[in-house]
A and B are shown apart, each in its own frame.
Chain A
Amino acid sequence: MDIDFSSYSDVELYGFLREAKGLRDAAFTEIYERHSTRIYLYCRKILGSSDLADDAFQETFSLFLKSVGGSREMTNLPAYLLRIARNVCLQMVQRVRRRPESVFEDGFFAADVEMTPVERSELIALLDVALEVLPDEQREALILQVYEDMSYQEIADFMNVPLTTVRNWVVRAKKRLRDELQQYWTDYRK
């Protein structure tokens, strides 16, 4: 008999991970379907490099499964997964760190960006690159806010910093992004 796992809560699915293989496999698949996109985006945005991000993503789910055997009581599975991903990413960041001062030199847009019509996907790609120049804490706060859809308060709890600090990080990050893309806006408006 097929069981529809989509109707189960995250906590219930986590419980199934301790059961027999068939049930465990199906529960993991459902958890993966629900949360892999957010974890993937987080890893990609934090690490930038796709190879590193791939490793971090895989490592996150590997560690997640290894943690199942214990007596942990799961209350917030998305946050738990995100915390694992964060730890993995931080370890990788410490290993590899190289950050440019500014990624957009004069003439960059004129050479590489079609001005009209400007696809939003193009802007996404540019933002991806612009994220690279942000300080670590600003970038992480921004990523949690825009990709994980967390409130300032949730981010503050997650990063263990005051709310006003998170707000300042996010605001500064977004202003910096806009500044980095200044040439883009200028050309776009022409």
Chain B
Amino acid sequence: MDQLSASELIYVYLDGEATPLQQELLFSHLAHNQELQQEFTDALSIGKAFRQERTSSKPPLYLSSRVFADAGIPYHGVDVAAVSAAAGASWFSLRRFILPVSAMMVGVLATYAALTYGSLFSGADSGTTASNESTADVRDVPSRRGSLAMQSDVMLSTATERTSARAVSGGAADVKGVSGSRERAEIVSDVQSTAASPSASSEVSLSGTESTRDDLGDAGMSATSEFGAWTERRISVVPYASSQRLSTVRRAESVVPGFVGTAASAFTLQANRLVRADVFGGSSGTASAGDPSLALLMNLDDQWSVGVSFSRNAYRFSDVTAQGMVLDNPRFTVVNAEAQWISDEAVAMDAKLFSRAAVGVAGVSGALFGTGSFTVGLQIPVSVFTLQPGIALESVLVNSRSGLPLHTRISFVTGIGVNL
């Protein structure tokens, strides 16, 4: 087929393989042949499509994990499909009860601490050492010069058959200025260690709030506990042994509903109409204990708050590594933009409706995933407490090209706040 037709010359030309003579011949045909022009356009589109695919196709993460596991080389990518497989296949079991229970204990401790040190916020003088008593209190602002709060808690995490201990200690100092404003600085250090895998981390958070003397009475502490129902739209099961390649095992698509207990404790400080900071330690079946998060919200008015939240979640791969996966306990960094709304009027009894929406991105070893959550619930005042039952829907949208699933987690959230 050395004598190519004009139609065939199109493809040779577009492949960059046509001789000058062939090019000339092709162009002479193209000049007056409409059908040929159309074929040329079609061939061009096909070529572009091929080129685009060539530049945008990468092996999916689960496959790369397999290759590296087979080679006995640590792989630093993240196979979220495998994570979800481990999570989805894990049914609600007794050991997962311990997490919410321990979180509730933390909540009790936090509540106790709030009540014990409540005067710190209420402005009543409890006789704590006044380190700067020389400051003149010309406006008769309740005096609180300095205070120290200590708290420790222990969280037991049997989901991974390891025991984690977490100690939190902090110091806080309130300084009353002569202008009648109050400033509060707080430093919290958090040390965690895990028995099976000794490690220690420390974090220091510094928060500052300021309010006028008229607004001192709306600070509080709250503890939150969650029981979550975890659902997977699609589960990819990738069980195989690292020592040998088992090509017969495939990813299977199925719907595997599962329950995973999640637990969380939160320390919330809210200065009226100013900033609310949630320091949040959560734990679920797949997340490690003590995943820290921080939310900073600005109260726009009585109903609306907006802000950002950050969380750093470590995913445990114990279930997966037991099957030979070589993954390095990747950490998810999630950054959310949040908005919260509270109804102006009570919807029933004294209960107000609240809803919270967050959208953001999660970073996993360099890859970005979209996240979103929506929470709706009630704030029910009971005496000095505020109960906050609600339901939260959280989703993580991952890269479909890699065959990774959409995570959806539905959590039933209960919270309790103390109004001081």
Contacts and interface: CB of A to CB of B under 8 A. Distances in A.
Interface of A: 24-25, 28-29, 32, 36-37, 40-41, 44, 51, 54-55, 57-59, 61-62, 65, 120-121, 123-124, 127, 145-147, 149, 151-152, 164, 167-168, 170-171, 174-175, 177-178, 181, 185
B63 interface: yes
B54 A29 contact: no
Contact of B53 (A51, A54, A124): A124
Contacts, number: 104
A127 B50 contact: yes
Contacts of A59: 245, 247
B50 A146 contact: yes
Q: Give the interface residue-count category, chain B.
A: 35 or more
Contact of B70 (A62, A127, A168): A62
A171 B8 contact: yes
A167 B17 contact: yes
Which among B7, B46, B47 has the highest number of chain A CB atoms within 10 Å?
Answer: B46
A178 B42 contact: yes
27 contacts: A28-B71, A29-B73, A32-B64, A44-B57, A54-B66, A58-B247, A61-B67, A62-B70, A62-B245, A120-B45, A120-B48, A120-B49, A120-B52, A121-B52, A123-B49, A146-B51, A149-B54, A164-B1, A164-B2, A167-B12, A170-B15, A171-B4, A171-B12, A174-B46, A175-B8, A175-B11, A178-B46
Contacts of A146: 47, 50-51, 54
Interface in B67-96: 67-68, 70-71, 73-74
Contacts of B247: 55, 58-59
B54 A41 contact: yes
Contact of B63 (A24, A58, A121, A149): A58
Contacts of B195: none
B39 interface: yes
Contacts of A37: 57-59
A145 B15 contact: yes
B13 to A, nearest CB: 10
Contacts of B162: none
Contacts of B59: 36-37, 40, 57
A13 to B, nearest CB: 14
Given A57-B63, A61-B71, A123-B45, A174 B54 contact: no
Given A28-B71, A62-B70, A151 B17 contact: yes
Contacts of B74: 25
Nearest to B47: A146
Contacts of A171: 4, 8, 11-12
A95 to B, nearest CB: 12
A8 B250 CA distance: 36
B43 interface: yes
Given A57-B59, A168-B1, 18 more contacts: A36-B59, A36-B64, A37-B57, A41-B54, A41-B57, A44-B57, A58-B63, A58-B67, A58-B247, A59-B245, A59-B247, A62-B67, A124-B50, A147-B53, A152-B15, A152-B17, A171-B8, A181-B42
Contacts of A178: 39, 42-43, 46
Contacts of B58: 36-37, 40
A164 B58 CA distance: 32
